[in-house]
Amino acid sequence: MPRPKPATFDKKKIVAENRRARFDYAVDTTYEAGIVLTGTEVKSLRFGEGSIAESYAEVKGDEVWLVNSNIPEFSHGNRFNHEPKRPRKLLLHEREINKLHGAVARDGMTLVPLMIYFNGQGRAKVELALAKGRKAHDKREHIKERDWKREAGRILRDHG
């Protein structure tokens, strides 16, 4: 019997976060993926540089790629430096890739990176979400619901 996966991933140092993704998309499920990086990319991430604000992931064949993420060049990287916006391969199990491919092709879902972080063993990971885009009226509904929950919490705290 397989071991159950933990509900949250072991995040030690968050490097880049896409805060707007949870507002623009209705997140369905999240996956933890490894990311293939060169040495200067890892050094640049360890300094806390990097952005995934406008990035997305796509399934090409049997592989998943992180597109349009920006990891700036390492300051002491000399001629071995990397290209900042190159596509980077994500490491997932074959079963997970097949699920993602089916959801993107069939259901019109999108693969959105939520954050890049280093786990407890020092490995760079990407939290990838399978999400559906929200329309403007859905966003307004989401704001109303969030504000009401916040207000209800205040009322309960003050009068509870």
Domain ranges of the chain: 11-134
Q: What's residue 120's pLDDT? A: 85
Q: Is the pTM of this model over 0.85?
A: no
Nearest in space to 32 (alpha carbons), one of 53, 8, 52: 8
Q: What's residue 150's pLDDT? A: 92
What's the fold here for domain 11-134? Small Protein B; Chain: A; (2.40.280)
For the chain, which ranges sit under pLDDT 70?
Answer: 1, 5-8, 160
Q: Which residues of 110-142 are buried (b: 16+ CB within 10 A; e: fewer)?
A: bbbbbbbbbeeeeebbbbbbbbeebeeeeeeee
Cα angle 122, 18, 40 (rounded to 5 degrees) comes to 40
